[in-house]
Amino acid sequence: MKESAVGSDGPPKIFLRLFRWYCHPKLRDAIEGDLAELYHEHVTASGKRIADLRFIVDVLLLFRPGIVRPFQHRQPFYNHGMFKNYFTTSWRNLISSKFYSGLNLLGLTLGLSVGLLILFWVNDELSFDSFHSKTDQIYRINVNLESSGNKFAVPVTQPTVAFYGLKEVPGIKQAVRVSDFSNYSVFRYQNTALKGNVTVYTDPSLFTLFDYKLLQGDIKNPFPVTESVILTQSAAKRFFGNEDPMGKVLVADNKDNFVVSGVVADFPGNTWLHCDMLFSTELTKKKYREWGWRPFDEEQWGNYGWITFLQLQPGTSVKAVEDQLTKINIKHQPTLKPVDIGYYTLQPLRDIHLFGSDGNPTGMQTVKIFSLVAFLILLIASINYVNLSTARAVLRAKEVSVRKIIGASRYQLFLQFIIQTLLFFTIALALSFVLISLVMPVYNELSGKSMHFDLFAPETWKVIGITFLATLLVSSIYPASLLSSFQPAQALRQKLSWGVGNASFRKVLVVCQFTFSVGLILATLIISHQLQYVLGKSLGYDKSHVFSVNMNNMGGHYEKVKAELLQQKVIAGVTSADNNIVNVPGASLDVDWDGKDPNRTIFVHSTKIDPDFLPLFNIPLVEGANFTGAATDSAHFILNETAVRETGIKDPIGKRFRLYSMEGTIIGVVKDFHFLSLKQKIEPFVFSYQPESSRLFVKASGTDIPAAIRAVEKIWTQYNEGFVFDYSFLDQVYEKNYQSEERTGRLFSIFTGVAIVISCLGLLGLATYTAQRKVKEIGIRKVLGASVRTLSLMLSKEFMVLVLIAIVIALPVSWFLMQQWLEDFAYRDNIGWWVVALTGIGTVLLAFGTVSIQAVRAALENPVKNLRSE
């Protein structure tokens, strides 16, 4: 019994709270004290359970008149009738001036829709890989190297790190390695043969580390045999239709069989992994053994091909794990200098989408830019609303005055106009829902995402709620406080002296609006100009009409195939290499030359080619000669200019050079060409000789490209029976490298278009209003002999000054900000001053066009009609 008294933690909270809530505040303390005292006694006497029960009964019995606090006079003033009236007047107001309401609604709907679309995109970007339950414990290993002052980080590492890390580093709970080597090109089940499946090799821990849902199969043992394969749901559907895929056999390239051991739910759009089929690393190990390679887990220290994720125990020091892994790496490669091995860093899973492996916020920057654009567009739309509703405030002056005279308080009037804004915004929001769901498919295509507009998802409402409330707040407070501030006596006498001050506020807002719009226009122009420059830049080689295909089983017959192909008129050239020249990202430090500074290392990119490679791609030699195809060529190298400069070799022809274990001499130097993204500088490059490589490049003569493709396909299929002919044009591969920039550019120009449209809508509304207000002035001027031209100019002048001010502010600011974006590109081209000037002139013309429509219309009207009344 005593124990229960000690262990008691007070009476049931919820009933205590109930009591406190209903009890009269004057009595509350004393009665609660009594209850507590009794409770305490009951606990000691008969235990907590009984005491609780008695407490509850007491609390319930205490609920009686005299003790319950009075409720009626604490309630805030609420008047149903008044609210109804607010809605009625708001609605009538909306209906009575269809033109303004229409303009306002259109601007607001556009603004909200585009703002929301951008924010959905931003939200999707930020949500990458946040859905895993262990997200915060997962890190990716990046390898960092520094060469000749260049820092360099890659997201792939050796398979051995995870193996030794798990064994020797205490904080590591789980590890998973993933690689997308593709050993097979075609998979077949009965009569269904499919190519183009993205295949990866992975450890079974993939499914326990990440929350990828294994729909079928054993999560503890997803690959029961070495030749197991796990398919995604849609891949399984493609192969097997509605049949149960489990246990079915897929034939790879007509030689190897794989058993389907599991089906994983399709990978969501916002995760790092995208593939169709998953194989086990056990298979990799087996292949390495078959090829006589070093053991996969223990000795593959030179194999930088595996994305490795670690799950750390909560509370583990990331830095400590990084250091321990780096030490392990250095310990196992005693022949290399630590500086050449580099060091490991762990990057949190949450960051890998928006930050590069070197920590550069490449994706984050776009997210920030887009957030800013969304903010500006919403602001422009809000300004529109504020301007149009305050400009027309005069018309409401009488209504406000009468309400005040009857006895409305300022608070009530304020509320009335807030409600009016709310009504307006709700209609606009409903319309933008319709608009968003209509354009969502197009938007997805443009942005390369697969977002759904689901009105019932909490995620959607998070975005909508914040946007809606923020814009509502910005747009409602100023008009409401202005409208409710009228002095009835003055307003009824039409002495609207307050109008002067608030017109200038409107002018400030118009300037803001156009500053944003003009800034966005210039930014768009700079982005698209840079992209045009990148895509059209001379790369130092000619890739036109060149397509490439994997040799596969054609290997060994290259000379014969080449001779056959060259007989065709439609084919201009044939060559083979082991890399696609469009993108050669991999580089090695394992190089040496005479006079090399032992403390300085450089990365060298390399490709094996045959003698026809340089002529086919039209890469000019600066010095020396091309490969000839002679046997001695296997000890010959051709360097690019950057390599010569970086290595510091003087008179390179005939000098010694070593790449991996290949010793030889330099026989030529080629002019620099771009084999990386144009964001990067040209790096050292070396060609070595190999009479036949895995990739075939064919240059069509350009007269009949389809015929050239058919010719290659015909020969190719002779050797590759049962395979699918899979070719790609280098132009397309190249453009793919800039896909994300192009997307950003395209989205950006659309958003800018919307911003300028909304701004012009606002201007149109204001101009119309001004023209209406000055209708008598115009009439009198016209009667006195003013021409239509001078009248239009007079009306437009007021606005054009504002637009000019905006341009003067916006152009330099936007120019300056865009220079920072351009800094990302190693090769950039700035737009000329004339583009900036054109932006300014274009905006002026657009604004002038918008305003003058109204001005001319007002000036053309018959003055008699306007002057007759009153």
Q: Which residues bind other proteins (CB under 8 A)?
A: 10, 27, 29-38, 40-41, 57-58, 60-67
- Closer of 34 and 168 to other proteins (Cβ): 34
Which residues does residue 343 pair with via DSSP β-bridges, in sequence order? 144
- Closer of 55 and 425 to other proteins (Cβ): 55
20: left (phi over 0), alpha (psi -120 to 50) or beta: alpha
Q: How far apart are CA 369 and CA 118, in angstroms?
A: 10
- Closer of 15 and 375 to other proteins (Cβ): 15
Q: How far apart are CA 57 and CA 149, in angstroms?
A: 79
Q: How would you class 719 by CB atoms within 10 Å of its CB: exposed for 0-12, middle for 13-18, buried for 19 or more?
A: middle
Long-range contacts of 61-70 (CB under 8 A, 24+ apart): 62/19, 62/23, 62/31, 63/22, 67/22, 67/23, 67/24, 67/27, 67/31, 68/22, 68/23, 68/24, 69/22, 69/23, 69/24, 69/25, 70/24
Minimum Å distance from CB 72 to other proteins?
Answer: 19
Minimum Å distance from CB 502 to other proteins?
Answer: 57
Q: How far apart are CA 477 and CA 512, in angstroms?
A: 18
- Closer of 71 and 78 to other proteins (Cβ): 71
- Closer of 14 and 845 to other proteins (Cβ): 14
Strand 277-280 relative to strand 546-550: parallel, antiparallel, unpaired?
Answer: unpaired
Minimum Å distance from CB 24 to other proteins?
Answer: 8
Q: H helices of 127-203, where? A: 159-168
Locate 626 and state its tokens. Answer: 């091309």
The answer to whether 731 and 541 have CB atoms below 8 angstroms apart is: no
The answer to whether 140 and 307 have CB atoms below 8 angstroms apart is: yes
In 3D space, the residue among 334, 346, 338 whose CA is nearest the CA of residue 307 turns out to be: 346
Q: How far apart are CA 154 and CA 342, in angstroms?
A: 11
User: What letter represents residue 546's amino acid?
Assistant: V
Minimum Å distance from CB 55 to other proteins?
Answer: 10
207: left (phi over 0), alpha (psi -120 to 50) or beta: alpha
Minimum Å distance from CB 53 to other proteins?
Answer: 13
- Closer of 67 and 793 to other proteins (Cβ): 67
The answer to whether 231 and 263 have CB atoms below 8 angstroms apart is: yes
User: Phi/psi at 162 (nearest 5 deg)?
Assistant: -65, -40
Strand 150-154 relative to strand 138-147: parallel, antiparallel, unpaired?
Answer: antiparallel
- Closer of 66 and 292 to other proteins (Cβ): 66
In 3D space, the residue among 180, 183, 164 whose CA is nearest the CA of residue 295 turns out to be: 164
Residue with tokens 């469009």: 582
Type and span of the H or E element at 574: strand 571-577
Give the CB-side neighbour count of residue 706, counting CA atoms within 13 A: 0
Q: Is the dihedral of CA 299, 303, 306, 307 positive or negative?
A: positive
Minimum Å distance from CB 421 to other proteins?
Answer: 48
- Closer of 36 and 214 to other proteins (Cβ): 36
- Closer of 35 and 643 to other proteins (Cβ): 35
In 3D space, the residue among 310, 349, 353, 345 whose CA is nearest the CA of residue 326 turns out to be: 345
- Closer of 31 and 214 to other proteins (Cβ): 31
Residue with tokens 């049931």: 12
User: What letter represents residue 164's amino acid?
Assistant: Y
Minimum Å distance from CB 26 to other proteins?
Answer: 9
Q: Return the number of other C-beta atoms located less than 10 Å from residue 276's C-beta.
A: 20
Minimum Å distance from CB 44 to other proteins?
Answer: 9
- Closer of 66 and 334 to other proteins (Cβ): 66
Minimum Å distance from CB 19 to other proteins?
Answer: 10
Minimum Å distance from CB 15 to other proteins?
Answer: 13
> By three-state DSSP, how is residue 662 classified?
strand
Minimum Å distance from CB 60 to other proteins?
Answer: 8
Minimum Å distance from CB 1 to other proteins?
Answer: 16
Minimum Å distance from CB 66 to other proteins?
Answer: 4
- Closer of 36 and 496 to other proteins (Cβ): 36
Distance of CA 414 to the CA centre of its chain: 41
Q: Is the dihedral of CA 777, 783, 785, 791 positive or negative?
A: positive
- Closer of 65 and 315 to other proteins (Cβ): 65
Locate 47 and state its tokens. Answer: 């235990």
In 3D space, the residue among 468, 469, 478, 495 whose CA is nearest the CA of residue 387 turns out to be: 478
- Closer of 63 and 131 to other proteins (Cβ): 63
Type and span of the H or E element at 606: strand 605-609
Minimum Å distance from CB 41 to other proteins?
Answer: 8
Which residues does residue 175 pair with via DSSP β-bridges, in sequence order? 310
- Closer of 11 and 262 to other proteins (Cβ): 11
